[in-house]
């Protein structure tokens, strides 16, 4: 095995967002998404920015706040089976640096999107998708499942 690779982490999902490699990959992916959308000829700049914002927020919502559990067996008898990835991060510690990074990046994207849509178009869609991604990150919403959706 490779040297320095072994870890004794019970649930590696909790530490995956802390590596700077993930942060860089995340930024590159968002830019890649934006460039791909820009290269579609019949989308105007307004639509492209709104789409970037919406698709990014949708993907973030699905991967961080909808999918539960781990794709591997953990030795703690299934404790994180009902927790989303956001709730698993750092074992439930609030306001860690990766939390802050992941909270700030949709806001930054929103600010850019509203700048580029000239503050006139697509206000509701952008704001709604931003809220859908910001609200689950609040510590008051830790473990909350509204209307029993996604509980089990």
Partner 1 sequence: MATVAEQWVLVEMVQALYEAPAYHLILEGILILWIIRLLFSKTYKLQERSDLTVKEKEELIEEWQPEPLVPPISKDHPALNYNIVSGPPSHKIVVNGKQCVNFASFNFLGLLDNPRVKAAALASLKKYGVGTCGPRGFYGTFDVHLDLEDRLAKFMKTEEAIIYSYGFATIASAIPAYSKRGDIVFVDRAACFAIQKGLQASRSDIKLFKHNDMADLERLLKEQEMEDQKNPRKARVTRRFIVVEGLYMNTGTLCPLPELVKLKYKYKARIFLEESLSFGVLGEHGRGVTEHFGISIDDIDLISANMENSLASIGGFCCGRSFVIDHQRLSGQGYCFSASLPPLLAAAAIEALNIMEENPGIFLVLKEKCERIHKALQGISGLKVVGESLSPAFHLQLTDSTGSREKDVKLLQEIVNHCMDRSIALTQARYLEKEEKCLPPPRRRTGESRAHNQGGGPGCAALGRVLGPGGQPPRSTHTGLCVTAL
Instruction: Report the Cα–Cα distance between both ends of the chain, in Å, rounded.
Output: 37
Task: Give whichever of 63 and 115 is closer to partner 1, judged by the CB atom.
Answer: 115
- Least spacing, CB of residue 4 vs partner 1, in Å: 19
Q: Which is nearer to partner 1, 8 or 77 (CB)?
A: 77
C-beta of 77: minimal distance to partner 1 in Å?
Answer: 5
Closest CB 43 distance from partner 1, rounded Å: 16
- At residue 25's C-alpha, the angle toward residues 48 and 37, to 5°, is 15
Q: Which residues bind partner 1 (CB under 8 A)?
A: 45, 73, 77-79, 81-82, 92-96, 99-100, 103-104, 107-108, 110-111, 114-116, 118-120, 123, 127, 139, 142, 151-152
- What's the CA gap between 56 and 50, in Å, rounded? 10
Nearer to partner 1, 4 or 143 (CB): 143
The nearer residue to partner 1, 19 or 127, going by C-beta atoms, is: 127
Partners of 84 in beta bridges: 68
- Cβ(53)–Cβ(131) below 8 Å: no
Query: How far apart are CB 87 and partner 1 at their closest, in Å?
Result: 10
Give burial (CB, 10 Å; 0-12/13-18/19+) of 28.
Answer: exposed
Taking the C-alpha atoms of residue 76 and residue 4, their distance in angstroms, rounded to an integer, is 23
Q: At closest approach, how far in Å is the CB of 6 from partner 1?
A: 13
Contact 86, 29 (CB under 8 A): no
The residues with which 68 forms a beta bridge, in sequence order, are: 84
């Amino acid at each position: 095995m490779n040297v320095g690779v072994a870890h004794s982490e019970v649930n590696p999902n909790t530490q995956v967002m802390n590596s700077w490699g993930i942060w860089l990959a995340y930024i590159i992916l968002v830019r890649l998404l934006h460039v791909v959308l820009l290269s579609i000829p019949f989308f105007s700049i307004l639509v492209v920015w709104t789409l970037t914002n919406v698709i990014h927020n949708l993907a973030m919502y699905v991967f961080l706040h909808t999918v539960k559990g781990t794709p591997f067996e953990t030795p703690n008898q299934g404790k994180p089976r009902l927790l989303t990835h956001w709730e698993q991060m750092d074992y439930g510690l609030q306001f860690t640096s990766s939390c802050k990074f992941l909270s700030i990046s949709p806001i930054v994207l929103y600010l850019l999107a509203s700048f580029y849509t000239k503050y006139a178009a697509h206000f509701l869609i952008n704001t709604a998708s931003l809220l859908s991604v910001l609200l689950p990150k609040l510590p008051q919403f830790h473990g909350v499942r509204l209307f029993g959706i996604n509980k089990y």
